[in-house]
Structure 1
C-alpha cells in the first residue's frame, strides 16, 4: 500500500454502516464485480446479502460448459440488466467468460477449479441474495444431436446430475424455500425433477423431454406426493406420456399433457369436474388419433368447424354460471376443456 493510499483509508476498512450505504448505491452487476475483488469483500457481501433483484434465471448445462443467464428487474427496458456468464472446462481448470457493459468480452481462468462447482457456487451466491419472488427458473440440459457418441451423452448426464446435486444441497439447507412463479426443466426421469422441486415454492411447472422426437412415459408417482405438487396452479408436460389418474390433476387450474391411452371414462370425469368445480380454467389432453370418438353419444352435438384443414368437433355444456358454458373440443389427437361465454355459442349448436 503506497503512502498516497494509506491502509486506514482502504475500502475494506470502512465501517459496516458506510459499506452498507455504498452497496445500496450499486446495482447487482456492480456488486458481483466487487464481490470478486478479494475474500474480505466477498465475505462481507455474502453476509449482508444485498437483494439480487433477479427476475429470470436460465441455466444451460452442456458436457463441457455451463451458461447462466440472469435477467434483472426492468430487463425488458434496460438491456444492460441481462448478464451472461459461461463456465467452460479447460485442461488448466475452468475458464469463465462474461460480457461487460460495453459489450466487450471478459475472460478469467480459475486454475484447478472444476467448472461445474465454479458455476454452482456463483449461481448459489446469487440465489442466496434473492429476496423478491422470481418470475422464472429454467434449468436445462442442452440436448446433444442424435448422432453424438454415447460416451458424450453419458458425460452430459453426469455433469447435469452433479450440478443438480450442488443446487439441491444449497436449497435443502435454506430455512425458507426459494419462491418462484414458474419452474421449467427438461429431464430424463423423475429423479432429476426431485433434486429441485421439493425445495422451492412454485405455481407453474413445465417439464419437457430432451428427446423431442421420441415420446416416452414419464413416471412421476413420487412427484405427486409432494406438497409442492398439491400447490401447483398449472402443469405443462411436453414430449412425455404420463400415467396419472384424473383425480391427481383436479387441483390444477391449467393443464397440458399427453396420455398413451385416453378413455371415455376419463373424458366424462373431466367434463363433470369442470361443470362442478369453480377453480378449473383449461385442460388440454393429447391422446390417440381417434380421440374424438370418445365423447358419450348421448350428448347432442357435435358442432363441426373447419379451420385450415383442421376439423374441430365441439360439445357445449351448461354450468352454474348462467352467462358461461363449458366447451369440450376434439381436434386431431387432442381434446380441450375450456369455458366460453354463452353469447359465443355458435348458432344451431346445442347446449347439453
Structure 2
C-alpha cells in the first residue's frame, strides 16, 4: 500500500455497515465490476447479496452461444457468451453503449453464462416484471438440434440449484419460455413465484401438433396460483377442470366435444374469477356441438372473413351475459353487457 493511499484508508477496511451502505448506492453494473476486482469484494458481495434490481431478464440459448439481456428502469445490459476454441469469449454492452470483450481460457461458455446469471438471480430480491427463457430449435442448422438440446439442458441444470437455494422463491410477474418439451420448463418453474405463464414450442416450425405433457406441471403449487396461461405451438392433454382456477387462458386441444363445452359454460356462469378463455382445436369442427336445445345463435363474420356463431347466457349479474363464440378453429368464452346483445337474439 502506497503512502498516498495508506492501508487504514483502504475501502476494504471499512466497517460492514459502511460497505453495505456503499453497495446500496451503486447500480448493478458497478456492483458487478466491484465484485470482479478481488476475492475479498467478491466474497463480501456474495454474502451480502445486494439486490440486482433488474425488471426483466431475457436469455437465449444457441448451440455455440448464450445471450443474456438485463433490463433496468432506465437502461439495459447485454452480455454474450460464445464458444471460442476450448474457451469462452465474453462480449457485453454496458451503459456506455461501448462493446467490451474478454477471453476466458479452458472453460465452457454455458458454465460461464450460468455462473454469472446464477449470481444475479441469487441477489434478485425485488419482483421482476418478466423472466424470458428461449431454447429454440427454429433457425438452427440441420444436425445442431441435438447439440442445442444438450447445451440448454446443461445450462438450465446449472441455474436450478441457485434458484432452489434461495430462501424465498424468485418473484416474477410473467415467466415466458420457448422450449422443446416440458422437461426444460421443470428446471425453473418449481423455483419461481409467478402469476402469468407463457409457453412456446421451440420446435414449432417442424412440429406444430406436438402434445405438451402437462402431468408434472399441473401438480406444482405454481400451477395452482397462476392467473394467466398461454401455450402456443403445442396441444395439451389437460382436463377442463385443470384450467378452471385460471382467470385467462389460451390453449389448443387436438379435439373438443360437447361435454367439454358444457363444462366450460357452466364454470363461467357460476365462477367469480373467470374472465377470458380462448381454446383452439385441431381435428374437430365444433360449431355443431352446442346443445341443440339452446336458442339459435347470432351468426356473423370476423375481421378475417371466418363465419362465427355466438350464443349468449345469463349470469348472476343481471346487466352482464356470458358470450360463447365458436369458429371452425376456436372457441372463445368471455363476458359482455346485456345491452350489447344483438336485437332479436335470445339470451339462454
Return the offset for 1:201: 1.2
Deviation by residue 1:201-234 (Cα, 9 ceiling, x = unmatched)? 1111111111223221111112111121111111
Point out the more displaced range, 9-18 or 157-166: 9-18
Q: Within the alignment, does 1:103 sit opposite 2:97 as a pair? A: yes
Deviation at 1:14, TM superposition (A): 2.2
Q: Does 1:197 align with 2:189?
A: yes
Look up the match of 2:44.
44
Number of the residue aligned with 2:292:
297
Within 2, Cα distance between the matches of 1:348 and 1:212?
43
Return the alpha-carbon distance in structure 1 between the equivalents of residues 78 and 136 of structure 2. 16
1:136 matched to 2:122? The reply is: no
Which runs of 5 or more residues in structure 2 are unaligned?
none
Tell me which stretches of 4 or more aligned residues in structure 1 moved more than 6 Å: none
Aligned partner of residue 149 in structure 1, secondary structure: coil
RMSD: 1.5
Q: Deviations over 1:134-165 (max 9, x none)?
A: 1111111133436x222x11110011000111
- Please give the alpha-carbon distance, in whole angstroms, between the structure 1 residues aligned to 2:46 and 2:134: 27
**Match of residue 210 from structure 1:** 202
Aligned residue for 2:218, secondary structure, equals: helix
Tell me if structure 2 keeps the 8 A contact 1:87–1:119: yes
The answer for the alignment partner of 1:306 in structure 2 is: 301
Aligned partners of 1:292 and 1:333 also within 8 Å: no
SS in 2 for 1:225: coil
State whether residues 138 and 185 of structure 1, in contact with CA within 8 Å, keep that contact through their aligned partners in structure 2: yes
Q: CA deviation at 1:185?
A: 1.1
Q: For 1:176, which of 161, 165, 168 is the aligned residue?
A: 168
Q: What number of residue pairs does the alignment pair up?
A: 344
- Give the match's secondary structure for 1:295: coil
Partner residue in 2 for 1:149: 142
Measured after TM superposition, the shift of residue 106 of structure 1 is 0.3
Matches within 5 A, 1:1-352: 1-72=1-72, 74=73, 78=74, 81-145=75-139, 148-150=141-143, 152-213=144-205, 214-288=208-282, 290-308=285-303, 309-352=305-348
Question: In structure 1, how many angstroms separate the alpha carbons of the residues matched to 2:55 and 2:134?
Answer: 17
Shift of 1:307: 3.2
Residues in 2 aligned to 1:209 and 1:330: alpha-carbon distance in whole angstroms = 25
Q: Distance in 2 between matches of 1:96 and 1:2?
A: 33
Distance 1:44 1:123 in 2: 18
- State the alpha-carbon separation in 2 of the partners of residues 98 and 217 from structure 1: 38
Summarize deviations over 1:169-204 as a string: whole Å, max 9, x none. Answer: 112222321111111112222221111111111111
- Partners of 1:300 and 1:246 in 2: how far apart? 24
1: CA distance between counterparts of 2:164 and 2:238? 28
User: What is the Cα deviation at residue 333 of structure 1?
Assistant: 0.1
2:271 and 2:311 mapped to 1: Cα distance?
18
Separation in 1, partners of 2:243, 2:347: 26
Q: What is the CA–CA distance in structure 2 between the aligned matches of 1:284 and 1:270, rounded to whole Å?
A: 11
